[in-house]
Amino acid sequence: FGNRDLTMIIFNIVVSVLACLFVYFICFKITASKKMGLLAMGIMAVYPNNINYVRNTLSETPTMFFLTASVFFLLCFSGPDSC
């Protein structure tokens, strides 16, 4: 981990991709439609603010990941059916 800036950018990319996957699963859980899940994930993937946050070492990208993960697990464990 010699270059810290590159390491943080790679970390932000991985966390952003995982946040996009959580958005897909949230939308799929709410609508039961794979097309809507893919649409929501695609919108988040090309959202300009999301792209700008990934390029810089800011705290917004991990925050977005933890927020989408918490909403997913809230939806997952609040209903009678499990994930």
Per-residue pLDDT of the chain (83 residues), as tens digits, is 566 788 888 999 999 999 999 999 999 999 999 999 999 999 999 999 888 888 888 888 999 999 999 999 999 888 777 67
Structure tokens at 18: 């995982």
Q: What's the pLDDT at 43?
A: 95
CB 64 within 8 A of CB 16: yes
Q: What's the pLDDT at 41?
A: 95
List Cβ<8 Å contacts ≥24 apart for 42-46.
Answer: 44/19, 44/20, 45/20
Residue 55 CB neighbour total at 10 angstroms: 11
Whole-prediction pTM = 0.86
Angle at Cα 82 formed by Cα 71 and Cα 70, nearest 5°?
Answer: 15
